[in-house]
Amino acid sequence: GAMGASSSVLPRDVLGEYQELTFLTKQEILLAYKRFSELLPKEERENACSARVPKSQILTLPELRASPFQHRICRVFSTSDNGDDSMSFEDFLDMLSVFSNSATSDIKSHYAFRIFDFDDDGTLDKKDLEKLVNCLTGQGEESRLNAAEMEQLIRNILEEADIDKDGTINLSEFQHIVSRSPDFTSSFKIVL
């Protein structure tokens, strides 16, 4: 369009496809596209579908700005090859889809597990749980747990969740505790 006024719109067939692949409505997908485009420099907006938004821009989104897990969220949803945690439009949609109220609790807990798995090794071990607790209690000195409190809390979590007693929590153990314990799930709404 003249002067690029026709802010690029998603082709109809693509829209239908995204609707099938996500928990989002057409409206939500179009809004996501608009939001994603606005994170790009003007000259890249025409081709938003094939552009990548840098992590620094993704972190400005209200959904992430307040999250103690913002860096992990970028890491888990980014498909970037070079580890810069940048996002394509499809990455962005996947993230919004999992955040959406229509996403199933199974999907939410699956992604929460990946976000909490700080070393990406497929299980939550003591180190992951320590990082998780530190994220949840905030970084302030006064809210931080001391070593003994941390040790005790992690023992309690493992006592509760580590069904096969191997010292770590795997995905199915994690999903089990989430499904069984609504208060645990609500504390965890902060992520998703």
Query: Which top CATH class is 12-99?
Result: mainly alpha
Closest CA to 112 of 157, 57, 165, 177: 177
Residues of the chain with CATH 1.10.238.10: 12-99, 105-188
Is 105-188 assigned to CATH 1.10.238.10?
Answer: yes
Q: How would you write the pLDDT of the chain (192 residues) with one tens digit per residue? A: 344 444 568 888 999 999 999 999 999 999 999 999 999 999 999 989 999 999 999 999 998 998 899 999 999 999 999 999 999 999 999 999 999 989 988 899 999 999 999 999 999 999 999 999 988 887 677 778 899 999 999 999 999 999 999 999 999 999 998 888 766 655 555 555
d(CA 108, CA 69): 14
Cβ-contact 168, 148 below 8 angstroms: no
pTM of the model: 0.88
Question: Is-contact 84 90, C-beta < 8 A?
Answer: no
